[in-house]
Structure 1
Amino acid sequence: MLRVPAALSVLAALVGGLLTTAPATAQPAGPVAGARAGVERPAAPPRLHATHGPQAAIVDARGARVLLRGVNVNGLGEYYQANPELPSTVPLTSDDFQDIAALGFNSVRLIVSWSRLEPTRGAYDTAYVAKIKQALRWARLAGLYVVLDMHQDAWGLAVETPQDVTCPPNTSPNNGWDGAPAWATITDGQSTCRPFGTRELAPAVLHAWQHFYDDTDGIQTELVRTWGRLARDVATNPTVAGYDLLNEPGIGLDQANATTDLGAFYRRAIAAIRAGERKGGGFSHVAFFEPNVRWSNQGTSPVPPVEFTQDQNIAFAPHIYAEAFAGIPIATGFKNAATVAKSYGVTVWGGEWGFWPEHPADDADKVRRYAAAEDRWGYGGAWWDWKQACGDPHMIPAPGGQPAAVSPSLVRYTCPDQVAQPVDPAFGDVLGRTVPRAVPGRTTTLTSNSRTGAFELAGRFTPGSQRCALQVWAPARFARHKPRVTGITHLRRSSAPGGVVLSGCVADSFRLRMG
Structure 2
Amino acid sequence: MFRALTVVAALSATLLPPPSAHAAPDAATHVATHVATHVATHAAPRAAHGPMPRLHATHGKKAAIRDQRGAQVLLRGVNVNQLGEYFQASPALPPTVPLTKDDFHDIATLGFNSVRLIVSWSRLEPTPGAYDTAYVGAIRQAVRWAAAYDLYVVLDMHQDAYGIAVDTPRGVTCPEGTTPNNGWDGAPGWATITDGASTCRPGERELAPAVMHAWQHFWEDTAGIQTHLVDTWGRLARDFAKTRNVAGFDLLNEPGFGLDVAANGTTDLGAFYGRAIAAIRAGETAGGGFHHIVFWEPNVLWSAFGSTPVPARGFTKDKNLVFAPHIYAESLSSNSIPGGFDSAAKVARQHGVTVWGGEWGFWPEHPVEASREIRRYAAAEDAARYGGAWWDWKQACGDPHVVDRPGGQPSAVSGSLNRFTCPDQVMSPPDPAFADVLSRPVPRAVPGTITRLTSDGRKGRLVLAGRNPGGAGRCGLEVFVPKRFAQKQVRVTGIDNLTRSRERGNVVLHGCVADEFELRIG
Q: Paired residue for 1:466, among 454, 470, 473?
A: 473
- What is the CA–CA distance in structure 2 between the aligned matches of 1:248 and 1:150, rounded to whole Å? 10
C-alpha deviations, 1:308-363, integer Å up to 9, x for none? Answer: 11000000000000000110110100000000010000000000000000100000
Match of 1:202 in 2: 208
Residue of structure 1 equivalent to 2:30? 26
| SS of the residue 2:72 aligns to | coil
Q: Name 1:95's counterpart in structure 2.
A: 102
Change over 3 Å in CA distance of 1:372–1:30 after alignment to 2: closer
What does residue range 119-198 of structure 1 map to in structure 2 within 5 Å? Answer: 119-196=126-203, 198=204
Query: What SS does the aligned partner of 1:162 have?
Result: coil
Quote how far apart the aligned CAs of 1:15 are: 9.2
User: Deviation per CA, 1:372-411, whole angstroms, max 9, x where unpaired?
Assistant: 0000000000000000000000001100001011110000
Question: Matches of 1:233 and 1:454 in 2, distance apart?
Answer: 42
Q: Give 1:222's aligned residue.
A: 228
1:204-353 → structure 2 map (5 Å cutoff): 204-254=210-260, 255-353=262-360
- Asked if residue 509 in structure 1 is aligned to residue 516 in structure 2, the reply is yes
State the shift of 1:479 in Å. Answer: 0.6
Q: Is residue 446 from structure 1 mapped to residue 446 from structure 2 by the alignment?
A: no
| One-letter amino acid of the structure 1 residue matched with residue 335 of structure 2 | I
Give TM-score, length-normalised by structure 2: 0.93
User: Which residue in the other structure is 1:41 paired with?
Assistant: 45
Contact 1:157 1:178 in 2 (8 A): yes
Deviating more after overlay: 37-46 vs 311-320: 37-46
CA distance in 2, matches of 1:510, 1:38: 27
SS in 2 for 1:274: helix
State the shift of 1:263 in Å.
Answer: 0.2
Greater shift, 83-92 or 43-52, is seen at 43-52
Structure 1 residues 53 and 94, CA gap change in structure 2 (3 angstroms)? same
CA contact (8 A) 1:11 1:38 kept: no
Quote the Cα distance in structure 2 between the aligned partners of 1:57 and 1:132: 27
Asked if the contact 1:250/1:293 (under 8 Å) is kept, the reply is yes
Counterpart of 1:83 (choices 55, 67, 90) is 90
Change (3 A) 1:489 1:31: farther
1:411 match: 418
SS at match of 1:494: strand
Per-residue deviation, residues 168-226 of structure 1 (Å, max 9, x unmatched): 12111100000000000000000000112x10010000000000000000000000000
The alpha carbon displacement at 1:20 in A equals 7.8
The answer for the alignment partner of 2:3 in structure 1 is none
Indicate the SS of the match to 1:339.
helix
Q: Which amino acid aligns with 1:219?
A: I
Q: In the alignment, what sits opposite 1:7?
A: none
Instruction: Name the CA distance, whole Å, in 2 between partners of 1:142 and 1:168.
Output: 51
Matches of 2:133 and 2:267, distance apart in 1 = 33
Aligned length: 505
Task: Call closer, same or farther: CA 1:33–1:150 in 2, change over 3 Å.
Answer: farther
State the secondary structure of the residue aligned to 1:242: strand
Percent identity, aligned pairs only?
66
Change (3 A) 1:264 1:509: same
Residue number in structure 2 paired with 1:5 = none
Change beyond 3 A, Cα 1:38–1:440: closer
Aligned to 2:65: 58
Name which of structure 1's ranges 35-44 and 25-34 shifts more when overlaid on structure 2: 25-34
Normalised by the size of structure 1, how large is the TM-score?
A: 0.95
The correspondence for 1:394, drawn from 388, 394, 401, is: 401
> Once the 2 structures are TM-superposed, how far is the Cα of residue 31 of structure 1 from its aligned partner?
13
Q: Which ranges of structure 2 fall in alignment gaps of 5 or more residues?
A: 1-8
1:206-258, Cα deviation, whole Å (9 max, x unpaired): 00000000000000000000000000000000010000000000011112111
- CA offset digits 1:6-37 (Å, max 9, x no partner): xxxx9999999995899976248899999444
- Distance in 2 (alpha carbons) for counterparts of 1:508 and 1:280: 39
Farther off after superposition, 125-134 or 494-503: 494-503
Q: Give the match for residue 497 of structure 1.
A: 504
